[in-house]
Structure 1
Amino acid sequence: MAIWITALKIIPWGSVLESAPHIVKAAKQVFSAAKSDSSGFADASSSPVGDGSVNPDKLDKRVRLLEAKIIELSNEQRASAELIKSLAEQNALVVEAIEVFRVRVKILLIACISLVGVLAGVVFWLATK
């Protein structure tokens, strides 16, 4: 149990807490953008291009809607990339803290084994005296 407490002390919680609102905000933006339905885009894409009647106004509207959707998707992709980068940085901090724990646990294990050996030697020495 003490290992977890030590692990929690090593993690730079200031950085984690400072980054958390940005991560949550970015995640909300990504998910809300993904959930939002572009009804104009759906209307423009519902009629096929090759339906026999080529209306330049409809085609122009569809092209503008498609361009807007491409820009929107590009922005979502950029936001997702920023979110992933932020999460990767936080993950790196956690991995670094775990590595420090691993080294400390190994040192503590060696120290405990050494102390048990010394204690056994002292007990043996006192028993033979």
Structure 2
Amino acid sequence: MVPFANLKVSVGGKDNILEGVADSIHMLHDAIASDAARPKTEDIEHSFENFHSSRIIGRIIIDCPAFAVTLWENALEGKCKLWADGHSSKVVAAFLESPSPNVRCLAKSELQPLIDSGMLKIPDHKAVEK
């Protein structure tokens, strides 16, 4: 599993202040996506299945559309049904929670059948806020 640096660094800093280190940020995104592309096995915990890393990856998806596209293309496209349960569902659901219409559109056709079947549940943030 890739060790995760500070979350703000992985998305380019607040207000993209770390723009000057874009190559390093893209390398980090690629490393996370490469690690996430590993097949699911029983002997090694996958980063999508780990309580902490699944939430961090989900947060980066929501905060950084460029990372979301990289992760989708390298690790998730065509495999969402495999990850729609347990801690990994946080990663999958983050694509639909993204404020970016492009990220939501990217995943919607694959995720909508999982939502319709009840396999994937999207958190109701309004209920959480009350």
- TM-score of the pair, normalised by structure 2: 0.26
- TM-score of the pair, normalised by structure 1: 0.26
Bigger relative contact order (CA 8 A; separation at least 6): 1
Highest Rg: 1 or 2? Answer: 1
